[in-house]
Amino acid sequence: MIKILYLGDIVGSSGRRIIKKHLSSLKQKYAIDIVIANAENAAHGKGMTKKIYYQLCEMGIDYFTMGNHTFSKPDIYQFIEQVDNMTVPLNMEKSVEISPIIIENKKIVISNVMGEIFMHNTINSPFEIMESVLKQYPDYMHIVDIHGEATSEKIAFFYHFKNRVQLIVGTHTHVQTSDEKIVDGCGYITDLGMCGTYHSVLGRDIEEILARFLNKQRLPYKIAEGEAILHGIVAEIDEINKQCVSIKKIKIMENDQI
Ligand code: FE2
């Protein structure tokens, strides 16, 4: 069995702080083999820097998937082509060539695709790009992060690929959904949720966002401060039968004891 902890979008410093506090206890508690996280919002809510990437690796995250904000901070160009544990949506607009993550000793491929609905920098269909990954790695087990806004698109993606993929997780909305399931050996959740400030609007400062909605006022981008929440799932994959056998939601507050 391979036990995977997949963490929802890490948003800013509070997201990083709660991971630092709880990740090693979580790994121990659930006997985790692989930790994966969506980290497109890790650096002040948008993008990733070299320093933060190394900090998150040191905290115990093994692999990273990203999203529409991957390249929001140019610092990422300093290292993204040199590391083999980070992938970005394969169907997004980008100036670097990025492949899926290959975990050779476990015969696992981790892919990242982006939805087309309500997303601005998707260049082709997540369905098409996923077909090409499956064609390229036919004998591997597959884990996919579909980064998208529309629940319908993510659910449709799951039903289309469930017989060929072992685990599909949705990211981007930062709100953990309550629809985790296993169908035909594929584990699924529409959105993992986030690792970020609990009292916030998807990790951002409430007043800043309210000023936009109420007064059409654009205040400087601000990440919310305060106690953080950590969201994700623990899934178990039976590598003999190439099937996901369990999926469990994780939701922990910063001040909780594990
Ligand atoms: Fe996103």
Q: 3-state class of 13 per DSSP? A: helix
Centroid of ligand 1 to alpha carbon of 69 (angstroms):
6
Of 180, 115, 175, 111, nearest to 140 by C-alpha is 111
Residues 140/108, Cβ–Cβ less than 8 Å: yes
Provide the residue-wise pLDDT of the chain in tens; the chain has 258 residues: 999 999 999 999 999 999 999 999 999 999 999 999 999 999 999 999 999 999 999 999 999 999 999 999 999 999 999 999 999 999 999 889 999 999 999 999 999 999 999 999 999 999 999 999 999 999 999 999 999 999 999 999 999 999 999 999 999 999 999 999 999 999 999 999 999 999 999 999 999 999 999 999 999 989 999 999 999 999 999 999 999 999 999 999 999 998
- List the domains of the chain with CATH numbers: 2-253 (3.60.21.10)
Contacts of 54 (CB under 8 A, 6+ apart): none
Please state the φ and ψ torsions of residue 120, each to the nearest 5 degrees: -95, -25
- Residue from 22, 44, 69, 160 carrying the catalytic annotation: 69
Spell out a b/e string for 137-175, using b for 16 or more CB atoms within 10 Å of the CB, else e: beebbbbbbbbbbbbebbbebbeebbebbbbbbbbbbbe
Query: How far is residue 19 CA from its own chain's centroid?
Result: 14
Centroid of ligand 1 to alpha carbon of 116 (angstroms):
12
What pLDDT does 227 receive? 98
Report the alpha-carbon distance of residue 209 to residue 57 in Å, rounded: 31
> What's the DSSP call for residue 219?
P
Question: Nearest-5° angle of CA 95, CA 96, CA 100?
Answer: 130
What pLDDT does 258 receive? 87
Q: Is the pTM of this model over 0.85?
A: yes
Centroid of ligand 1 to alpha carbon of 195 (angstroms):
13
Centroid of ligand 1 to alpha carbon of 240 (angstroms):
34
Centroid of ligand 1 to alpha carbon of 147 (angstroms):
6
What pLDDT does 25 receive? 97
Element of type H or E holding 171: strand 167-171
Centroid of ligand 1 to alpha carbon of 139 (angstroms):
30
The Cα-based distances of 220 to 47, 162, 168 in angstroms read 17, 42, 35
Centroid of ligand 1 to alpha carbon of 173 (angstroms):
7
Annotated catalytic, 69? Answer: yes
